[in-house]
Structure 1
């Protein structure tokens, strides 16, 4: 992909400012979550969160089940709970379709036939309380997601984690540039067998200046198997146009999303702070977003040995006609699919 003609500018966003009222920040973050999770027929094939799950599964290949996914800048939760559900749903379907390695063969009309994934094992027939090998395969394929942030949003995370056994959170502050070793060991050892740590940065990496980005990447290379950067914008005219489209959609669908909250509707229509901040910060985010090449430069100059790491990247359309999800996935060669 050609380099954008717009240079990267590390400007400030309203939502980041300490003077911005917390209740309005919550409304803006809720709008961003909807941007990740909504699926608008005719305009979208699927939600951006689902596309992230598809991308992880495609790029990581067989190793996708060998990691614990830690969101180091989870904010109020964002898309991660939805990515968790989408990815584990895909892995469960894939595991159910796979014929268990221990399935015995049968003979029908003199022809040897392998047992299908629907065929119960002998142990399951002999003891109905025993889980089938298919169920065990689905459980082993499932992966865990962890929400962390330098400024934890425990109330939101707790509500999200109650909806899935595979989603948890760290209630204390976690610095992505200096992740606690005991935290990483705890989640690397969770479940059956040792797991690698895979870091997620959803709509977050563009917030870091170059020095902080290098520090985070150095810590990542030294303590993780890989990381993924997922952004809903880029430094293109199409990316900027999408910000205005999103602002229009918020105005269009807010009554369906927030009918139960007159206060939210007030700050969408009467004093339109929410759509203004979403569009303004979206435009600034476009200017702050790095290309895959720029991320790789930071990776190679972060001070850690990244010689064995590869960089993959791409763009997937998330809303017609010009909205794209930009992603960069980096990891050790054994982590990425061939």
Structure 2
């Protein structure tokens, strides 16, 4: 499947007409799935590899949604003796979610060796000026090749390391994973921590009018069809201006999540 072209389609939570609260509930569900699947175990390895290659330990997480897996990755790296400082950013930042993540990590990682903060204003991943090792987890497939190239080109132009992690192209994932992810939404909804009004809304939109399970199923199918193959990533990298000024590594981590990565480190 890696040799097949990706299909550019639209996920429901990307639509401009999707209510913000529904988008937030959806991205919070994704964050919960990261915890349930222990995605940080595999997702942390490409970042650890970049850090060992000289990337800055100041992490700038682009397209962070409702917090994403990076705080979970930070805790796993901390347990392995690797300390980082994370800044969460997004084009449309979910400031309340970022604040909850910041407070939660402060409770779990006491001291000054690790921290999480956020940028409360809009940060465009194609024109980012925040210094540090950039990460894009589970979001790169949202962008068509021209925008994806601009995000990588901005890292090259500003000479900031970048780590992109998404799911690999495989026939297995679009066939089975949407059902597993939808089941996770159904099982996890009562245990997600939200203010009471949003908690009740989550239960309503999960069990009474199953909007959230449908969104998860539909968007996960579309996501897997939009994933970049390794050959497509290589073509994008080869087409960047001054691409030779970076060392690029493309690969797949073995494991359940099928984490495919692209690492760019300034020479």
For the superposition of Structure 1 and Structure 2, which TM-score range results when normalised by the shorter chain? Answer: 0.7 to 0.9
Cα distance between partner residues in 2 of 1:158 and 1:36: 19
Cα offset for 1:65? 7.3
Query: Could you give the per-residue CA deviations for residues 282-318 of structure 1, whole angstroms, max 9, x where no partner exists?
Result: 1101111101221121111122333541213113323
CA 144–244 in structure 1, closer or farther in 2 if over 3 Å, else same? same
Cα distance between partner residues in 2 of 1:13 and 1:76: 17
Cα offset for 1:169? 1.0
CA 34–64 in structure 1, closer or farther in 2 if over 3 Å, else same? farther
Match of 2:110 in 1: none
Cα distance between partner residues in 2 of 1:89 and 1:235: 31
Match of 2:239 in 1: 301
Cα offset for 1:257? 3.7
Structure with larger Rg: 1
Match of 2:42 in 1: 51
Partner of residue 24 from structure 1, selected from 22, 34, 38: 22
Is the CA contact 2:161–2:266 (under 8 Å) kept in the aligned structure 1?
no
Q: TM-score, normalised by structure 1?
A: 0.69
Partner of residue 206 from structure 1, selected from 98, 123, 141: 141
Query: Could you give the per-residue CA deviations for residues 105-147 of structure 1, whole angstroms, max 9, x where no partner exists?
Result: xxxxxxxxxxxxxxxxxxxxxxxxxxxxxxxxxxxx5221111
Match of 1:329 in 2: 262
Cα distance between partner residues in 1 of 2:54 and 2:245: 22
Partner of residue 310 from structure 1, selected from 248, 251, 257: 248
Is the CA contact 1:296–1:311 (under 8 Å) kept in the aligned structure 2?
no
Match of 1:285 in 2: 223
Cα distance between partner residues in 1 of 2:139 and 2:200: 30
Partner of residue 97 from structure 2, selected from 148, 153, 156: 156
Taking the TM superposition and a 5 Å limit, the aligned residue runs for 1:259-270 are 261-270=199-208
CA 23–303 in structure 1, closer or farther in 2 if over 3 Å, else same? same
Taking the TM superposition and a 5 Å limit, the aligned residue runs for 1:1-338 are 3-4=1-2, 6-39=4-37, 47-57=38-48, 59-60=49-50, 62-63=52-53, 66-91=56-81, 142-162=83-103, 163-164=105-106, 166-180=115-129, 183-184=130-131, 197-231=132-166, 233-240=167-174, 241-257=176-192, 261-318=199-256, 324-332=257-265
Matched length: 255
Q: What root-mean-square deviation, in Å, do the aligned CA atoms of Structure 1 and Structure 2 show?
A: 2.3
Worse-superposed segment, 286-295 or 302-311: 302-311
Q: TM-score, normalised by structure 2?
A: 0.86
Query: Could you give the per-residue CA deviations for residues 234-263 of structure 1, whole angstroms, max 9, x where no partner exists?
Result: 432211111112112322343344797332
Cα distance between partner residues in 2 of 1:277 and 1:74: 19
